[in-house]
Chain A
């Protein structure tokens, strides 16, 4: 199957959009988790006992 240059460029743009969205989502949830995890699973190095 052959595709035109425009189609190829469109597909690459779309793949790039999806990758950016996935990276944004992952980073959002990493940041969201930081506080939740500190509260629920305090690190032993802080001198706190596990829940």
Chain B
């Protein structure tokens, strides 16, 4: 059955299955992750947090799964993140998968290690932990990323591992010294 590119859940599941088959590690991030945390925000694209997956590897994994795609851009630096984009095309429609990699390999690996994993309609899927969702949004540059981070913070603050978040924010401020990690993090949790 053809992939419905209007439906980001189909895109996320298909990409996750393709990546799993290719042995690539990725965890859901972005608007769909917000829904997982119980805070829905409609989104059309499927963002994935990754540690070491290049857009070339992602495209090859999608190709192998029979999903037509083109590389829109790779390794674009946005604050404390490096972002690549693969556009999936078909049936006169398109959708995007953004591959979001923290610019600190230690933290990138930790995000995947801490991710939540479950099965959705028979497909295993990883989702970034809520603490890391907030920290990744802190590493971004846009104001609406901070809005997303505050949404999760306010919804789950009593259940989150604050000690872990504070420790990671402190480390990231040193490891990615050219990005205002402390200022953005403080503006979320204040």
Which residues of A line the B interface, CB within 8 A? 17-18, 21-26, 28-30, 32-37, 39-44, 50-51
Contacts and interface: CB of A to CB of B under 8 A. Distances in A.
B189 to A, nearest CB: 15
Interface string B32-66: 10011110111110000000000000000000000
Given A21-B7, A32-B118, A37 B161 contact: no
Interface of B: 4, 6-10, 32, 35-38, 40-44, 116, 118, 120-121, 125, 127, 129-130, 156, 158-161
Contact of B8 (A25, A30, A50): A25
Contacts of A44: 158-159
A26 B44 CA distance: 10
A32 B6 contact: no
Nearest to A50: B159
Contacts, number: 77
A22 B43 CA distance: 7
Nearest to A48: B159
Contacts of B35: 25-26, 29-30, 33
Main secondary structure of the interface of A (DSSP, over half): helix
Given A18-B6, A25-B7, A50-B160, A37 B38 contact: yes
A33 B158 contact: no
Contacts of B4: 21
A22 B8 contact: yes
A36 B129 contact: no
Contact of B42 (A22, A39, A40, A51): A22
Given A32-B118, A41-B130, A25 B160 contact: no
